[in-house]
């Protein structure tokens, strides 16, 4: 049990009876723990917990994936219409801080002179610290992008507002401002990249993410490019970080992609595959299928359609066994109409498309960041440059196994690079990375092909003679995709004063309160 959970539990008990207050030291000791852990074991466990909880059927499948319309639910469409489950939100918040605590522990073990020498057996201390700092930046980026002001921790900045993870001192931490957090994440990523020994490994064994200091450095710089692009014009140093991150070395090919590959078994399979074994709640959305078929937007038929989705006649068993046959016939793809009333979903199930066997497989690789995204960022940084735009599309198609001839044909047919075209192709390439796609939509307004509240769309199969329906948001005041998640109930109840201050600071704890970079 994590220390923070224990202390919160103890505090709850203490409100009932002060007689337990002298038991803290006993409660805080886990008899099964060790003071000399394997840092690569902590690292791998944290990485898996992070992906298990951001790419699963709950946080991803019932919030981010449908909201950005990569998917649509086949039953519980209230969530597609923005009425999310509070438990999913609470889980996202709590596991993120648990994972952050693990990364912090790696940094602490490699910093403390008492333990650093032993930890060096598992890899160079500086590389381990850098990896922990980079992953802390990744976790806190997810949190600040999702909520706005949050409790924040920094390895290299002892700002008095950064009180997260120091549970011995701050049981009820302040919520730091977005401005401070984004600026510090950029600083942390820059300093992390600079301290890496690129000629050494990160961990001497058991490294399932990087393998080399050079790959870690490219990831740190690429992630910094992502963050700086998000906050340019808002955080004063962002433009400098864009230039410096590129000059310092970002990803240059798909071999630089950073992802977690799950095991090819039923013990540790990928989270969406594991869910699909017993439930068929998710289909590729009709909105996304229409974009890939060239029925919406500025593009022709995209061959990634046949890699992303299963044809309509593919069964659950075939997909799970990897025996479903890919179809190259666009007529086999319609997708689930997005945001239907629940009473209408059953009528559409004969003409929907599950995720493909390329996604729903036990050893699927969940991506932290990939080369194609970097090329789209470079296109934007260079005034919507055509060459980087084309490289981004090509890299995405290559990663998904599209044939070279089809890649060349599609790339040659691309409309000229522009803000709309580059960002729409970036959205297509971010498939199954919904939180990043959601952030980009909020920042830019693209793709502009999504179905928004109040708009009318086509059914696949008529219902009572009606061939269309209207998408109705279940959250009053939402006329677009939600701009943030509400703060979780646990934070409201256990850290009330700081929660109230943060809510006031951001302009209200509402689903249409915009973050500082949401200017579209």
- Rounded mean pLDDT of 133-144? 98
Q: Is residue 458 included in any domain, yes or no?
A: yes
Question: Average model confidence (pLDDT) for the chain?
Answer: 93
With tokens 């025996």, the residue in question is: 323
Contact status, residue 52 vs residue 271, Cβ threshold 8 Å: yes
Using DSSP's 3-state secondary structure scheme, residue 473 falls into coil
Across residues 76-93, what is the average pLDDT? Answer: 95
Q: Is residue 258 part of a domain?
A: no
Q: Which residues contact 319 (CB under 8 A, 6 or more apart)?
A: 276, 310, 354, 355, 356, 357, 360
Are residues 401 and 416 located together in one domain of the fold? yes
* 27 and 43 inside one domain: no
Residue 243 and residue 333 share a domain: no
Asked if residues 367 and 256 have their Cβ atoms less than 8 Å apart, the reply is: no
Residue 265 domain-assigned (yes or no): no
The token duo for 96 is 């993120």
In the predicted model, is pLDDT for residue 13 greater than 50? no
Q: So what's the pLDDT on residue 9?
A: 35
In a domain, 144, yes or no: yes
User: Are residue 376 and residue 499 in the same domain, yes or no?
Assistant: no
Q: How confident is the model at residue 120 (pLDDT cuts 50, 70, 90)?
A: very high
Nearest Cα to Cα of residue 432 among 381, 369, 377: 369
User: Tokens 């996202």 map to which residue?
Assistant: 92
Kindly report the pTM of this predicted structure.
0.93
Do 313 and 328 lie in a common domain? yes
Indicate which CATH number applies to the domain containing 453. 1.25.40.390
**Do 180 and 214 belong together in one domain?**
yes
Position 34 confidence tier, pLDDT thresholds 50, 70, 90: low
Please return the burial class of 143, using the count of CB atoms within 10 Å of its CB with bins 0-12, 13-18 and 19+. buried
150 within some domain: yes
Q: In angstroms, how far apart are the furthest CA atoms of the chain?
A: 75
pLDDT value at 26 more than 80: no
Same domain, 359 and 409: yes
**Counting runs of H as helices and runs of E as strands, what totals does the chain give?**
23, 6
Query: Residue 33 — very low, low, confident or very high, per pLDDT cuts 50/70/90?
Result: low
Q: What is the pLDDT of residue 36?
A: 73
Give DSSP secondary structure letters for 420-445: HHHHHHHHHHTTT-HHHHHHHHHHH-
Inter-residue contact 333 to 353 (CB < 8 Å)? yes
Q: Does residue 42 sit in the same domain as residue 160?
A: yes
Q: What pLDDT does 520 receive?
A: 82
Q: Is 418 found in the same domain as 362? A: yes
421/125 Cα distance (integer angstroms): 44
- Whether residue 88 lies inside any domain: the answer is yes
Residues 355 and 220 in one domain: no
Q: Are residues 449 and 314 in the same domain?
A: yes
Rounded CA separation 147/84 (Å) = 14
* pLDDT tens-place string over residues 403-461: 999 999 999 999 999 999 999 999 999 999 999 999 999 999 999 999 999 999 999 99
Number of domains in the chain: 3
Residues 94 and 159 in one domain: yes
Host domain of residue 79: 38-251+489-506
pLDDT at 474: 97
pLDDT digits (tens, 9 = 90+) for 480-493: 999 999 999 999 99
Tell me: pLDDT of 75 over 50: yes
């Amino acid at each position: 049990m994590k220390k923070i959970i224990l202390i919160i539990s103890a505090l709850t008990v203490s409100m009932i009876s002060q007689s337990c207050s002298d038991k803290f030291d006993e409660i805080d000791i886990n008899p099964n723990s060790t003071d000399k852990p394997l840092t690569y074991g902590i690292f791998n466990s944290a990485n898996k917990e992070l992906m298990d909880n951001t790419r699963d059927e709950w946080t991803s499948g019932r919030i981010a994936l449908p909201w950005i319309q990569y998917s649509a639910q086949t039953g519980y469409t209230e969530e597609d219409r923005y009425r999310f489950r509070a438990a999913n939100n609470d889980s996202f918040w709590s596991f993120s801080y648990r994972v952050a605590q693990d990364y912090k522990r790696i940094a602490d073990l490699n910093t403390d002179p008492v333990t650093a020498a032993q930890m060096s057996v598992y890899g160079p201390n500086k590389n381990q610290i850098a990896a922990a700092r980079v992953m802390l930046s990744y976790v806190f980026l997810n949190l600040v992008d999702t909520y706005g002001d949050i409790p924040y921790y920094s390895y290299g900045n002892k700002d008095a507002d950064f009180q997260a993870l120091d549970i011995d001192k701050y049981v009820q931490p302040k919520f730091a401002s977005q401005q401070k957090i984004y600026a510090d994440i950029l600083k942390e990523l820059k300093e992390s990249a600079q301290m890496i020994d690129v000629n050494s490994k990160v961990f001497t064994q058991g490294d399932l993410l990087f393998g080399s200091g050079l790959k870690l450095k490219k990831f740190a710089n690429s992630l910094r490019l992502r963050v700086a692009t998000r906050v340019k014009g808002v955080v004063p140093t962002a433009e400098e970080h864009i230039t410096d991150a590129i000059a310092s070395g970002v990803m240059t090919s798909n071999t630089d992609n950073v992802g977690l590959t799950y095991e090819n078994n039923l013990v540790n399979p990928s989270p969406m595959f594991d869910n699909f074994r017993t439930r068929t709640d998710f289909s590729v959305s009709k909105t996304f299928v229409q974009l890939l078929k060239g029925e919406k937007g500025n593009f022709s038929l995209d061959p990634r359609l046949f890699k992303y989705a299963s044809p309509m006649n593919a069964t659950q068993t075939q997909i799970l066994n990897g025996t479903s046959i890919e179809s190259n016939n666009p007529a086999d793809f319609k997708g689930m109409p997005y945001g239907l009333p629940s009473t209408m979903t059953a009528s559409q199930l004969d003409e929907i498309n599950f995720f493909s066997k390329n996604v729903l497989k036990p050893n699927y690789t969940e991506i932290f960041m990939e080369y194609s995204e970097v090329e789209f960022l470079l296109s934007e940084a260079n005034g919507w440059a055509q060459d980087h735009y084309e490289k981004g599309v090509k890299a995405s198609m290559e990663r998904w196994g599209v044939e070279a001839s089809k890649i060349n044909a599609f790339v040659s047919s691309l409309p000229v690079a522009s803000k709309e075209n580059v960002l729409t192709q970036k959205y297509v390439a971010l498939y199954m990375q919904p939180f990043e796609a959601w952030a980009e939509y909020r920042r830019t307004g693209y793709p502009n092909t999504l179905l928004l509240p109040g708009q009318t769309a086509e059914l696949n199969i008529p219902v009572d003679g009606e061939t269309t329906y209207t998408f109705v948001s279940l959250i009053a005041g939402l006329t677009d995709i939600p701009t943030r998640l509400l703060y979780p109930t646990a934070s409201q109840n256990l850290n009330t004063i700081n929660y109230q201050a943060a809510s006031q600071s951001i302009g209200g704890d509402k689903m249409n309160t915009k973050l500082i970079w949401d200017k579209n």
